[in-house]
Structure 1
């Protein structure tokens, strides 16, 4: 590969050793993938097609032109020459050449400078992130539904194993101007999902997004935040502490390089990833023009089931949800069971281990609280059962999923319907 990214091969090798621990990948392909992710905007279907069918390095060599052009006419002629070279490469492989290469080159060419690519690699080298590419064990199977519009790679901070939780991930999105009602419902749903082992995916924004992330973390559950800009700085600024906590306890990902600003059109592109990474999308509260409706539309395009939480008919913050329901684009969801059924269909629950005829179990449950942790001794005192016996009863209830043990003690979990 002839593109200059400001690093020698040995420097790049050290970079991959740090960004991709324990993985083996071709240096030229990795370098070209990172370059492509900087040249093309997220979801660029022509770039995705070229990388998939020709390979990242081969396709980049065919299109990369760093020189300055004297006129627009000269640039257009070069675009035609690039398209011809790509079509010839397709012909040599016995493939049907794609349309749109010429237009794609005109989009990418303004960024084709060694200085720009060197800055991308320098910021990556200074980051504490991890680089994921298609084919990695952690790569989400959900991205397959995006086809040529799938991300070329992902920059990640946190537990990358969570990305593979596609089958047990739910995207929960909503308005930034959340009401008390919306925040309450979002919290209940996110806590319930987290307690049952589901991963909550959202966008880290103000309002509903932040609420579901916080709720999942509070329940000691799993959550993923998908960013529209580079991971060198988090957006929105007011949620920096929250997103940093997600990076420590969950996962934060972005498909754009470090240093990329989160522009409005990148938020729209980001939404397709939120939809693809989850087995269902739930819109908790959203106005008619909310970006959450855009996420729902992406979900519909790729065949993900969509759920919408109804709100007061007088509330503008729920008008988008009501429109989704009115147009039969979404199913009404009101409980955690509704959300799980939306994603996986009706799930038969196993028979409980706790004997329903044994009154000791109900006494222990009555002694617990869903919010305030209590020690075994406190539960024993309230239930009137010995401490050792109480510990055993709690263990059975834990297996049934109706209690949870935290660092501060035991709490009850809302019963499944």
Structure 2
């Protein structure tokens, strides 16, 4: 099986050592599951976040067959035939498949396919795929928008805390009011046993992470690039603390550069992984409204904190309440009520299953 996806010169023992260096526990106990993990790692480098064509192919054909199709210059017609034989629910057109295969081929890892895993091992990263028992099942609600894999810094067992978590998001250029509300909200929710999820940015995100850390609660930061590309640079120390006491998560392999598109796609993971999303402060064009949109599409509870009616920094929150049926929340208790109706049923369960 190893030779079938062109891992020349890599013995079963070497394959096992590569996987063991990045996989928590006995995640991939046999050679087949280990090679599947290598295939997902390679595809996570080849595909941009939110590439629905890639996720659809992997769902229908599996990671190994999808990777073979990319590596072997398989024709779009042959891929369509394979999808038809598997009775795939969605079969892209030949022209769409041609474009997708060409796109992925140019971005396969340079050198050995396991290069992303080796790079991850060097920085102490962990690698989790949907086959792993710690995989956050709430991400599966994204369907073909789900990530192919997750790269982590921090104890992977903390993924379990996502089953009881609230995303606090908002403006990077937060006002003093916004940062104060974020700090008080994150501290209050932490005291109530909620993990705090955000995006590691300046302003509201940073305040939420800091308050959770000060409360000795797990906080999770989803990054738009690789987990070794701590961005923004001014939050470097904060993100290192999150990696030590919480979790840094990315769907792109180490070394990947954050881009505007990747920030927008990262937001869907924040919304999907959390029991509820609360927008603390947001202007009319705030990126946190994108996260709110993902939460609404997923049917996740959505809350917004009101601000002074004269404050442009709260225009986005007021619009969410007025036009998008976001619940007006003003206290940690109200935020907790927003999440608790469904929070216990989301994400990986307390037993890690």
TM-score in same-fold range (> 0.5): yes
Separation (CA, whole Å) in 2 of partners of 1:303 and 1:83: 35
For residue 162 of structure 1, report the CA deviation from its aligned partner.
2.3
Contact in 2 for aligned 1:311/1:318 (Cα 8 Å): yes
1:233: Cα distance to partner?
A: 2.7
Q: Give 1:237's aligned residue.
A: 233
Residues 264-283 of structure 1: pairs in structure 2 closer than 5 A: 264-283=260-279
After TM superposition, list the pairs within 5 Å mapping 1:131-210 onto structure 2.
131-210=127-206
Distance 1:108 1:225 in 2: 27
Matched, 1:27 2:34: yes
In the aligned structure 2, how far is the partner of 1:118 from the partner of 1:156? 17
Pick from 335, 339, 347 the counterpart of residue 335 of structure 2.
Answer: 339
Of 52, 61, 69, the match for 2:68: 61
Aligned mates of 2:281, 2:112 — CA distance in 1: 40
- Tell me by how many angstroms 1:267 deviates: 0.4
Q: CA deviation at 1:166?
A: 3.2
Match of 1:89 in 2: 82
Asked if 1 retains the 8 angstrom alpha-carbon contact of 2:198 and 2:209, the reply is: yes
1:98 correspondence with 2:67: no
> Equivalents in 2 of 1:329, 1:142: separation in Å?
22
Change (3 A) 1:96 1:219: closer
Counterparts in 2 of 1:6 and 1:309: CA distance versus 1, 3 Å: farther
The DSSP-based 3-state class of the residue aligned with 1:128 is: coil
1:13 to 2:13 alignment: no
Report what 1:324 is aligned to: 320
Structure 1 residues 140 and 96, CA gap change in structure 2 (3 angstroms): closer
Q: Deviations over 1:64-87 (max 9, x none)?
A: 25xxxxxxxxxxxx7xx6221111
Match of 1:123 among 83, 95, 119: 119
Q: How many residues align?
A: 333
Please name the residue that 1:259 is paired with: 255
**Which has the bigger relative contact order, CA under 8 A and spacing at least 6?**
2
> How many angstroms does 1:144 deviate by?
1.6
Whether 2:293 is the aligned partner of 1:286: answer no
- When residues 29 and 241 of structure 1 are mapped into structure 2, their CA distance, relative to the original with a 3 A threshold, is same
- The farther-off stretch of 16-25 and 177-186 is 16-25
**CA distance in structure 1 between the partners assigned to 2:324 and 2:144 by the alignment:** 28
Q: C-alpha deviations, 1:249-291, integer Å up to 9, x for none?
A: 1111111000000111100010000000101100000111111
Q: Indicate the structure (1 or 2) with the bigger Cα radius of gyration.
A: 1
Q: What secondary structure is seen at the aligned counterpart in 2 of 1:111?
A: coil
1:308 aligns with 2:301: no
The runs of at least 4 consecutive aligned structure 1 residues that moved more than 4 Å come to 1-7, 116-119
Structure 2's unaligned 5+ residue stretches are 344-353
Q: Give the conservation status (yes or no) of the 8 Å contact 2:169–2:280.
A: yes
CA–CA distance in 2 between the matches of 1:188 and 1:203? 18
Alpha-carbon offset, residue 54 of structure 1: 0.9
Indicate the residue corresponding to 1:44 in structure 2: 51
For structure 1, the 5+ residue unaligned runs are 66-77, 348-417
